[in-house]
């Protein structure tokens, strides 16, 4: 997928408001203008259906519905969805499950600006 950043929709799913705010700040600095949030897996599935984002960042461990369960539901309904899982140390088992379910990529938490931007460069082209 090569899409212009300014037109792309991004969904950030994490139960930590601090993490969501940091991601929004980094994504805005990268050039995104349409950034949406979800604070748990159930809300992530609902928001995904409403906005159909171009890329979704999904925390693995969340209340209501885990990120892995949310990924499964999203990929069942939208197999081409780009979902990038965010993982911290200790969730490696969940990460391998997420990869089996079709996660496109993963980010190590805490999210590093360089790591995030390098990953985004694979999916989006910067406007000149």
CA distance 2 to 89: 31
SS3 state of residue 68: helix
Size (the chain), residues: 128
Q: For residue 128, is pLDDT > 50? A: no
User: Looking at the domain 3-120, which fold is it?
Assistant: Rossmann fold (3.40.50)
Q: For residue 68, is pLDDT > 90? A: yes
Residue range 58-67: mean pLDDT, rounded = 92
pLDDT for 37 equals 98
Binning pLDDT at 50, 70 and 90, where does residue 80 land? Answer: very high
Neighbouring-strand partners of residue 85: 58, 106
pLDDT for 123 equals 86
pLDDT for 124 equals 84
* Domain assignments of the chain as residue spans, ordered by start: 3-120
Least confident of 57-61, 69-73, 120-124: 120-124
């Amino acid at each position: 997928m090569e899409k212009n950043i300014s037109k792309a929709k991004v969904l950030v799913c994490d139960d930590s408001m601090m993490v969501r705010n940091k991601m929004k700040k980094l994504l805005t600095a990268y050039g995104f203008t349409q950034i949406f949030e979800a604070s748990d897996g159930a809300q992530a599935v609902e928001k995904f259906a409403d906005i159909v984002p171009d890329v979704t960042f999904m925390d693995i461990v969340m209340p209501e519905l885990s990120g892995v369960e949310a990924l499964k539901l999203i990929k069942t309904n939208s197999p081409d969805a780009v979902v990038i899982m965010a993982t911290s140390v200790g969730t490696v088992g969940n990460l391998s499950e997420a990869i089996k379910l079709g996660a496109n990529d993963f980010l190590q938490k805490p999210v590093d600006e360089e790591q995030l931007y390098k990953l985004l460069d694979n999916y989006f082209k910067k406007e000149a």
